[in-house]
Chains A and B, each alone.
Chain A
Amino acid sequence: DGGITQSPKYLFRKEGQNVTLSCEQNLNHDAMYWYRQDPGQGLRLIYYSQIVNDFQKGDIAEGYSVSREKKESFPLTVTSAQKNPTAFYLCASSRTGTRSNQPQHFGDGTRLSIL
């Protein structure tokens, strides 16, 4: 069964700590994305990658970092510089990032909370 796996489902972070959210896909998709969702709000783009070893900042990249060393994997690190990290984080992928008509496939999200 192809899909996107995000882990962990719930994550707790202490003040001043970096944490990394995992995202793996076996859909053979070129493009991958990270979104943040706050209560009552839509999805805001943090980072996206259209190809391995390349990624671009989204609308709210400050305090976050990513890597794309493998096609299947796009981990997101929430750094201590992100002052309000409590949110629901969603990872997505699509067939290619160079066409506008490709729907995105989403994982089930990671809920990050501050201790």
Chain B
Amino acid sequence: DQQVKQNSPSLSVQEGRISILNCDYTNSMFDYFLWYKKYPAEGPTFLISISSIKDKNEDGRFTVFLNKSAKHLSLHIVPSQPGDSAVYFCAASQGGTNAGKSTFGDGTTLTVKP
């Protein structure tokens, strides 16, 4: 029972275009969502997050959109750059006794072609 799903294992876009990475979740108790970026042989690094009380959060070229009714979030990268090529993980967390724990999706490998 995977609570966080990234249905696209890979995505390829041209430099300068928009990259859209998608993530779906099933647990309505999740109240915070995070995106991490991972290069090969390194640990993931935090990219951007969004609280469940918001529907959009923007940080430079990165924007995350949250649709609570659809239990869906997406990460938009505009414009995409070759250095953005990496694996992107969606993660979700909740408060209460499970606070601090994050549930991760399987990741989407983004390739940005020059």
What does the 1/0 interface line of B29-73 toward A look like (CB < 8 Å)? 001101010000111111001010000000000000000000000
What does the 1/0 interface line of B71-90 toward A look like (CB < 8 Å)? 00000000000000000010
Residues of chain A with a CB closer than 8 A to B9's CB = 40
Residues of chain B with a CB closer than 8 A to A41's CB = 106-107
A31 and chain B: residue at smallest CB distance: B100
Shortest Cβ distance from A66 into chain B, in angstroms? 15
B52 and chain A: residue at smallest CB distance: A100
Residues of chain B with a CB closer than 8 A to A63's CB = none
Beta-carbon contact of B100 and A103 below 8 Å? no
A/B interface sample: 25 pairs, CB < 8 A: A31-B100, A33-B101, A40-B106, A41-B107, A42-B105, A42-B107, A43-B44, A43-B104, A44-B104, A45-B101, A45-B103, A48-B101, A90-B43, A90-B44, A94-B100, A98-B100, A99-B99, A100-B32, A100-B100, A102-B100, A103-B34, A106-B45, A108-B42, A108-B43, A109-B43
Within 8 Å of chain A (Cβ to Cβ): is B16?
no
Interface size class of B (residues with CB under 8 A): 20 to 34
B93 and chain A: residue at smallest CB distance: A100
Residues of chain A with a CB closer than 8 A to B36's CB = 103, 106
Residues of chain A with a CB closer than 8 A to B101's CB = 33, 45, 48, 58, 97
Residues of chain A with a CB closer than 8 A to B44's CB = 43, 90, 106
The docked-state distance in angstroms from the alpha carbon of A109 to that of B39 is 12
Beta-carbon contact of A101 and B93 below 8 Å? yes
A interface residues, tally (CB under 8 Å): 31
The docked-state distance in angstroms from the alpha carbon of A44 to that of B4 is 12
Within 8 Å of chain B (Cβ to Cβ): is A78?
no
A45 and chain B: residue at smallest CB distance: B101
The docked-state distance in angstroms from the alpha carbon of A115 to that of B44 is 27
The docked-state distance in angstroms from the alpha carbon of A40 to that of B36 is 16
Residues of chain B with a CB closer than 8 A to A43's CB = 44, 89, 104
Which residues between 1 and 31 of chain B lie within 8 Å of chain A, taking CB atoms?
Answer: 4, 6, 9, 31
